[in-house]
A = this chain, B = another copy of it.
Amino acid sequence: MMIVMRHDARPQDVERVLERVRALGFTPHLSQGHERVVIGVIGEARRADPGAFVHLPGVARVVPISRPYKLSSREFHPDNSVVQVGPAGFGGEDIVIIAGPCSVESRSQMLEIAHAVKEAGAHMLRGGAFKPRTSPYSFQGLGEEGLRYLAEAREATGLPVVTEVMAVDQVDLVAQYTDMFQIGARNMQNFALLKAVGKRQVPVLLKRGMSATLSEFLLAAEYILVAGNSQVVLCERGIRTFEPSTRNTTDINAVPVLKASTHLPVIVDPSHSTGHWAYVTPVARAAIAAGADGLIIEVHPRPEEALSDGAQSLKPERFAQLVREVRAIAELVRPRTASLVPGGNHGSAPGV
């Protein structure tokens, strides 16, 4: 942390800041610049709070220097982590493709889609039983009944499943049926929930909040890691911007920035990040080309009848085409992804 003094700060103002730094157990380091004094705060600065200084006379502002996250940081853990869910290894040599409906709607729907996406080349199955819906008047999911259908589809196809858990009191129930928890974008900073899944040894698919910075995203992952669960996969699912022509804006930059900042695997959800089926395939290709470790895609055999997110669901035959296209790109770029984060003697990516 750097405390930037005002141009007109008096010697006694500087002295008082130095005292306060020391009083908090840190070591101050004074730097007399051209126009102003800057005071570095040396110590485990991750725990220091700017609020401790901004009220002092002569202080212009406080600039953080250290990264606030640590366990998720690639700087302290240079090698890729691989998160294994059955045969699928996120962050390994091959990309992992998750597919399925937005919501589990019925037993027959779930089985039909599971077989279709398996045949098309998916490695895992998705489907929501508990649905976070913006409007209370929208379909809220089948609950445990949906979880049962999902488990049945896993038995029938051998595909591991991922499904969303929305509340602490659902964690036990969902854990009985799923191979991987999904924490949705709206719950990325539901810290009680993060702590609860952090206590389980079940892999977690953590979606970025729709206005979360990448630093906040890594801190949300850090909550899970600190609690003891190191199996976290990050998912870029689009951020909220001013552009109205798509549901969200896919932050494609996030892929190389996250790969440089963290050892955790990174996947992309082009269904939510675009909001329209016609844009899903090009953005899926882009994600893999940018170095993503996988994709999560909404597929529905009759999207116009879907109870949620029909607009952004692909039909199985389009999804099969998507799988062919992204695999061809993965073959081109995967051997090269190691070079995306060049080592110390060629300069470094800044990360978050």
Contact = CB atoms under 8 A, between A and B. Distances in A.
A287 B306 CA distance: 31
Given A332-B332, A344-B9, A304 B52 contact: yes
A88 interface: no
B246 A249 contact: no
A43 B49 contact: no
Contact of A168 (B10, B13, B167, B304): B167
B278 A245 contact: no
B252 A286 contact: yes
A256 B282 CA distance: 7
A34 B45 contact: yes
Interface stretch (A91-99, A110-118, A152-160, A216-224): A216-224
A333 interface: yes
Given A137-B47, A211-B242, A285-B289, A277 B55 contact: yes
Residue picked from A29, A210, A242, A305, most chain B C-beta under 10 Å: A242
A267 interface: no
A245 B20 contact: no
A328 to B, nearest CB: 5
B333 A325 contact: yes
A189 interface: yes
A257 interface: yes
A192 B88 CA distance: 31
Given A7-B75, A190-B186, A241-B242, A52 B250 contact: no
A242 B344 CA distance: 29
A285 B253 contact: no
Nearest to A259: B282
A45 to B, nearest CB: 7
B187 A190 contact: yes
Contact of A40 (B33, B193, B257, B344): B33
Interface residues of A, number: 140
Contacts of A278: 256, 260, 340-342, 347-350
Contacts of A306: 49, 51
Nearest to A220: B134
Given A33-B42, A132-B191, A243-B239, A75 B6 contact: yes
Interface string A214-241: 1110010011001100000000000111
Interface string A169-211: 1100000000000000011011111000000000000000011
Contacts of A167: 167-168, 190, 192-193
B287 A33 contact: no
Given A49-B308, A170-B192, A283-B290, 18 more contacts: A6-B348, A29-B33, A34-B44, A50-B310, A52-B305, A135-B219, A136-B191, A136-B227, A186-B191, A215-B244, A215-B245, A245-B351, A250-B253, A252-B252, A255-B286, A256-B278, A282-B289, A286-B290
20 contacts: A4-B65, A46-B137, A50-B311, A53-B304, A54-B350, A55-B347, A57-B347, A59-B347, A63-B63, A68-B135, A241-B251, A242-B242, A245-B261, A245-B350, A252-B286, A253-B274, A256-B282, A257-B279, A285-B333, A325-B336
